[in-house]
Amino acid sequence: MSYTFTTTNTFTRTRAEYVASKVAADLRRMNNFYGHPTESEIDLYYRELVEYLVHGFLDSVEYGFKKNGQRVVSMKYKVETSGLLSDSHAGGVYARVDISGATWFSYLSQNSKFSSLSTEDSKAFYSKLTLSRGTGEPPKDGLGYWITDRAYSADGMGTQRQTFKPY
Would 3 be classed as within a structural domain? no
CATH number at residue 51: 3.30.900.10
| CA pair distance 123, 12, nearest whole angstrom | 22
Would 80 be classed as within a structural domain? yes
pLDDT band at residue 7 under the 50/70/90 scheme: very low
| CA pair distance 23, 116, nearest whole angstrom | 27
Residue 10: per-residue pLDDT: 75
Which tens digits make up the pLDDT trace of 98-132?
A: 999 999 999 999 999 999 999 999 999 999 999 99
CA distances from 72 to 17, 95, 110 (A): 28, 12, 23
Would 47 be classed as within a structural domain? yes
Would 5 be classed as within a structural domain? no
Which tens digits make up the pLDDT trace of 127-149?
A: 999 999 989 999 999 999 999 99
This prediction has a pTM of 0.92
Structural domains counted in the chain: 1
Q: Stretch 150-157: mean pLDDT, rounded?
A: 93
**High-pLDDT (> 90) share of the chain, %:** 89
Would 4 be classed as within a structural domain? no
Would 28 be classed as within a structural domain? yes
Would 151 be classed as within a structural domain? yes
Would 1 be classed as within a structural domain? no
Does the pLDDT at position 3 exceed 50?
A: yes
What is the strand order of the sheet 70-80 is part of?
103-110, 58-67, 70-80, 157-166, 144-154
| CA pair distance 76, 99, nearest whole angstrom | 18
DSSP assignment of 60-116: EEEEEEEETTEEEEEEEEEEE-SS------S---------TT-EEEEEEEE-HHHHT
Domain range for 43: 13-133+141-166
